[in-house]
Amino acid sequence: MEEPAEKRQRTEEPEGETKEDAPEGEKTEQMEESKPTEEEAKAPEPAKELETDAPEDSRKKVKETIQFLPHDTTINVLPSTHSNLLISMKEGGIQHFHAGARANIGLTGGRYYFECKVIELTHSQEQSHATRRPRPEYFVKLGLATADSSLVLGGCPNSISIDTDGNIIHNRTRSQEAQKVYKDSVMGFLINLDPVSPNANTISQFKDGVRSSQPIKIPENMLGKPLYPSVSFKNATVQLNFGPTSMAPLPFKCPMVQEAAADDAKITPAPKAAKPELFVPVCLPDEGTFDWADVWLSKNPTVTELSDRMILEWAEKSGIWRPRHKSSNDKPEMQFQVPELDDYSMRRAIYSIAPLQNRSFLVMEVKSNLLADERQNLLAKFPSTFKKTALVVMGTPKADFKEHTKSLLLKQKQEALDKAHEAKKMELARKKLNEQRLKVQAAAAAAATNGDEPAKEGEDAKMESKEDEPKAEEKEAEAKEAEEEAPKAELTPEEEQVRFCSHEIKDLTGPMLTINFPKFSMPTKDEGFDDIKYEWDNAKKSEEYLNEYISDKKLHLRVDDLRPGLWFEKQSRDWYTTLHGWHHTLADYESKMAQKKAKAALKKQAELAAKRAAEEKQGEAQPMETDAEKEKKEGEEETKEPADEEKKAEEEATAEGDEEKKEEEKKEEEKKEEEEEEEDEEAMEAAFEALDVFGVENVSDIGKGVPLYKDFKFEDWILMNLRFELHTMVHAFKKDVEDKDREGIHVENLLFYYNRYFKKVLSFKEYGVETAEELFDLISDAVYLTPKSVITSRLSDEMEAPLVFVKITEEARRFRTLKVDLGEEAQFGVKLNVAALTAISKNALPRRLGGGGGGHFHKGYHQKGGQPYHQSYKGGPQGYQKGGYGYKGGYGKDQGKDHGKDHGKDFGKDFGKDHGKDSWGKGGHKVGAAPGKGNVVPPPPGPPPAAGHAAAGGPLVPPPPPSSRPAPEAAVGGYGKASYGSKGKPAVGYQPYGGGKGFKGGSHNDYGKGGYQGKWGKGGKY
């Protein structure tokens, strides 16, 4: 007998339709398709329906109405008051996100059924220039989820769903096993948790009451937990029906979810609060902020988080692609390349919807919640129907949070160990493959050498096994090592005491924290809060903790927008003006001393020449007289009167005596003067060594024109300038930052502020040290580090003159010299990078130690008569600039230029050419003979170039001593082209004094632009 039609199985095979592309992150399973035979195609046999009519159940039914509670829906879901009608928002960028809702009933057993009808589908074309963008689609997913699952179905292991395209989706994996469901169709969802049913622990889809999929197993990890009916949708309006009446009856009797037995269900209670609450946590950045939020939200599942972090997580679950990078946790960049999302329209839409919903919120904004004005703006957006509560999370964490921190640290450590273990396994595999490849190559090379045919694979394997027999134990050890699991992570005692877990991405960016932390404050009821709760420490301790935090940040965080003020600019300008004056005074003093030495050397040389001439005169041989001449002379003498002879003898004796007496008196006077000068110099040097440095009133003249800094070397000028720079920077910072609570500059920010104030880089290695602490040891007499590593000056900012820096530097020089003389050079010696420091600190150095172009003196040495210009400089109105010291114009620009270029050029070229060729020539001259070829030449007229008369940045050093010049008989050639004139090789022992464009060189005695060695500038000068 044929069964009634209503009892027949009513199933439909899925239609063969093309799958759409999977959303981002989902994998598509490839379904194996077997080609049906002709008989099967002609007469398919429908599968037997195993579901039967449900028996009568007398157990107690659930009393609560099955519905969607606000906290169990995404924020873009607008539920209706009746009929469980759900609408998703479609503007403000929120239309790109998936909407989700979870019913308030969780099923633990039995077989039940619920329905969903697609009321409306909206096409929303998205504009984006991204290569990967949200698809312009609409869909509905119907399924089951656990209580801890995401509201967006299919994106985690704790949910399973079937969408309107017939795809089964679980844990980002999909496979098409059901028919498509269209608008106005009823999509039925059967849940079978009856252990005695043949389809136990399965779900099935029905379309308008007809089976559209075969039973699908529920994942094992979801079994044993309450399973909640859920729906996810996008750009759609859906109606959920939980019963008791079905919109599309099944071919078998099955109770709907509303008729579920109380024993088979777990009901989620509605919030007990009389009105929704707004929670505003006040947490310090990177001190467990979002970790605390995770713990708190797990204890308060009815509260919805509002934050940019929540938006990013929601976007990822909705399949919206974005780069993984983010600069901070509090305000990450959106970068979805979708206009409505990237311009924060989505965020504004969420904050406009939230106050209209009957649910509680946790506003997790780190920076905004710490600022009073932004807290007030937030509270003003929510009506009085919300209870507004501030949660202060500062101080010492509670025990539950400490345990959570330990679990996070252990997880991070385990992940690092797992990563290292995997890398080790990959390295072992790579090494093994490389060894095998080398063996094969060696075998092939050996076969080619012996002329044998390449061995076959089997033979290779046999040979390889024989060769590897001795290494079997080694291979076994490697295999065992590769199969070993990663070591289990354990926390050290120090790690167990860590209060907050450190994360790679900080809560706030550096600039954001620097700008806002001084304004951090505690919440008050005056801002609009109904209640203030302290999660960790009490109100007093929390206030103290915040103040300590701000003080610490003021010490360590730099002020990125700091600009040097007028005080600093004036101090720097005055310093370099004074410093250059000292350079000028030193140059004059050294020039004076060099001229004095040169004069003494010339005098000594003249004495030696006179003595040599006298000896030569006395040693001249007298000519021999003939006998006749001798007799004639004797006869003439006999005829002279005796009186004349006596008179002549007396006159000659008197003249000789007077001359000898005068000569002796002159020598005695000169000797006495020399002795007095030597005694004065020795006395002055002794007085200088015994001088009280800090009692000096005028550092440029401590007596007889001697400057206190006369013995300063390169390192003394450099360190004195560094003392001033750091001293000035410390005081200028306090004036420019305008914050009395800032203690000063922390040493970790030294390089930043030094560059900001002086527009140059401070390198420790250029000062011969490795760390900032070692640098401050060099100048601790002026600037030092406090126990908190704050840079502090020992000098007041109200000093009238910078003379004290000369005194401090001189005292340090004396101490260092003493220690070095005692053999402690390794500890007290200074090793500076001369080249690098000269380049960056040329204004701090005298010109004899290098520096900028132009030199200390003018271009062009001689004026008429061969005398040097001592005060002709080319430069700006103050200080050493490109041309030197003094004034632009006058002797510096005009006379110096004209005489340097023209007179020096003519004098060097013409005088050297004419006099070298015509007067002195290639030879020299003897005493008493005219200059000419073959004659020996004395030094040129006038004194040699004195110290300080260098050109174009050349050094100021004394000329070579006279002893370095050869004796006349040793000279080869004279001053012509060889020395004094145009370019040429100088005579042996003589210094080439220029001519034409000046000479070039790199030896010790060749002075030039920028330091001790180099080349002379243009213009015919010494």
- What tens digit of pLDDT does each residue of 954-1001 get? 333 344 443 333 433 333 333 333 333 333 343 333 333 333 333 333
Strands 228-234 and 99-102, bridge-based pairing: antiparallel
State how far the alpha carbon of 752 is from the alpha carbons of 515, 557, 747, 772, in Å. 17, 11, 10, 13
Lowest model confidence (mean pLDDT) among 1-10, 112-121, 483-492, 501-510: 1-10
Lowest model confidence (mean pLDDT) among 38-52, 273-287, 762-776: 38-52
pLDDT at position 183, please? Answer: 85
| Category of 359 on φ-ψ map: left (φ > 0), alpha (ψ -120 to 50) or beta | beta
What number of CA atoms fall less than 13 Å from residue 827's CA on the CB side? 7
pLDDT at 937 over 60: no
Mean pLDDT of the chain: 74
Radius of gyration (Cα) for the chain, nearest Å? 51
CA angle, residues 513, 514, 519, in degrees to nearest 5: 80
How far is it, in rounded angstroms, from Cα 245 to Cα 817? 105
What number of CA atoms fall less than 13 Å from residue 142's CA on the CB side? 28
pLDDT at position 974, please? Answer: 35
Nearest residue to 874 (alpha-carbon basis) of 884, 863, 862: 884
Q: Is 234 helix (H, G, I), strand (E, B) or coil?
A: strand
Token pair listed for 259: 């008729």
How far is it, in rounded angstroms, from Cα 221 to Cα 201? 12
Q: What percent of the chain has pLDDT over 70?
A: 66
pLDDT at position 344, please? Answer: 79
Token pair listed for 458: 């089997």
- In terms of pLDDT, which residue wins out, 207 or 342? 207
- The most confident of 160-174, 346-360, 369-383, 459-473, by mean pLDDT: 369-383
pLDDT at position 632, please? Answer: 61
How far is it, in rounded angstroms, from Cα 176 to Cα 179? 8
* Dihedral pair phi/psi, residue 503, rounded to 5°: -115, 155
How far is it, in rounded angstroms, from Cα 521 to Cα 371? 6
Q: Is 654 helix (H, G, I), strand (E, B) or coil?
A: helix
Q: Is 211 helix (H, G, I), strand (E, B) or coil?
A: strand
Strands 531-534 and 387-393, bridge-based pairing: parallel
Query: What average pLDDT does the segment 1010-1020 reach?
Result: 36
Query: What average pLDDT does the segment 840-853 reach?
Result: 65
Confidence of residue 125 (pLDDT cuts 50, 70, 90): low
How far is it, in rounded angstroms, from Cα 900 to Cα 488? 83
- Whether 1005 and 964 have beta carbons less than 8 Å apart is answered as no
pLDDT at position 636, please? Answer: 59
How far is it, in rounded angstroms, from Cα 905 to Cα 854? 18
pLDDT at 376 over 50: yes
Lowest model confidence (mean pLDDT) among 35-49, 310-324, 349-363, 374-388: 35-49
pLDDT at position 739, please? Answer: 86
Confidence of residue 523 (pLDDT cuts 50, 70, 90): very high
pLDDT at position 630, please? Answer: 60
pLDDT at position 904, please? Answer: 40
Buried b (16+ CB within 10 A) or exposed e, 623-637: eeeeeeeeeeeeeee
pLDDT at position 627, please? Answer: 61
Confidence of residue 274 (pLDDT cuts 50, 70, 90): confident
Question: Which 8-state DSSP code applies to residue 1021?
Answer: -
Query: What average pLDDT does the segment 464-469 reach?
Result: 50
pLDDT at 571 over 60: yes
How far is it, in rounded angstroms, from Cα 508 to Cα 499? 19
- In terms of pLDDT, which residue wins out, 581 or 93? 581
Q: What percent of the chain has pLDDT over 90?
A: 36
- In terms of pLDDT, which residue wins out, 623 or 318? 318
pLDDT at position 527, please? Answer: 94
pLDDT at 336 over 50: yes
pLDDT at 868 over 50: no
pLDDT at position 293, please? Answer: 95
Alpha-helical runs (H) found in 713-848: 714-737, 750-758, 772-778, 803-821, 825-828, 834-840
* Predicted confidence (pLDDT) per residue in 725-772, tens digit: 999 999 999 999 988 888 899 999 999 999 999 999 999 988 988 999
Nearest residue to 919 (alpha-carbon basis) of 930, 907, 905: 930
Confidence of residue 628 (pLDDT cuts 50, 70, 90): low
How far is it, in rounded angstroms, from Cα 874 to Cα 886? 7
pLDDT at position 319, please? Answer: 82
* Predicted confidence (pLDDT) per residue in 404-417, tens digit: 999 999 998 888 88
- In terms of pLDDT, which residue wins out, 300 or 127? 300
pLDDT at 33 over 90: no
pLDDT at position 625, please? Answer: 55
Neighbours of 671 (CB within 10 A): 10
Question: Which 8-state DSSP code applies to residue 223?
Answer: T
Lowest model confidence (mean pLDDT) among 291-300, 679-688, 942-951: 942-951
- Whether 340 and 93 have beta carbons less than 8 Å apart is answered as yes
Query: What average pLDDT does the segment 908-921 reach?
Result: 39
Burial class (CB in 10 A: 0-12, 13-18, 19+), 393: buried
Confidence of residue 637 (pLDDT cuts 50, 70, 90): low
- Whether 1019 and 949 have beta carbons less than 8 Å apart is answered as no
Nearest residue to 48 (alpha-carbon basis) of 1, 4, 7, 2: 7
Rounded to the nearest 10 degrees, what angle do helices 714-737 and 803-821 cross at? 140
pLDDT at position 389, please? Answer: 96
pLDDT at 518 over 50: yes
Burial class (CB in 10 A: 0-12, 13-18, 19+), 380: exposed
- In terms of pLDDT, which residue wins out, 896 or 551? 551
List all residues 6 or more positions away from 655 whose beta carbon is below 8 Å from its beta carbon: none
pLDDT at position 373, please? Answer: 95
pLDDT at 786 over 50: yes
Cis peptide leading into residue 244 (ω within 30°): yes
- In terms of pLDDT, which residue wins out, 423 or 137? 423
Confidence of residue 89 (pLDDT cuts 50, 70, 90): confident
Query: What average pLDDT does the segment 556-560 reach?
Result: 89
- In terms of pLDDT, which residue wins out, 620 or 77? 77
Lowest model confidence (mean pLDDT) among 50-59, 248-257, 358-367, 611-620: 611-620
Query: What average pLDDT does the segment 215-227 reach?
Result: 93
pLDDT at position 177, please? Answer: 83
pLDDT at 2 over 50: no
Query: What average pLDDT does the segment 458-470 reach?
Result: 50
How far is it, in rounded angstroms, from Cα 337 to Cα 319? 14
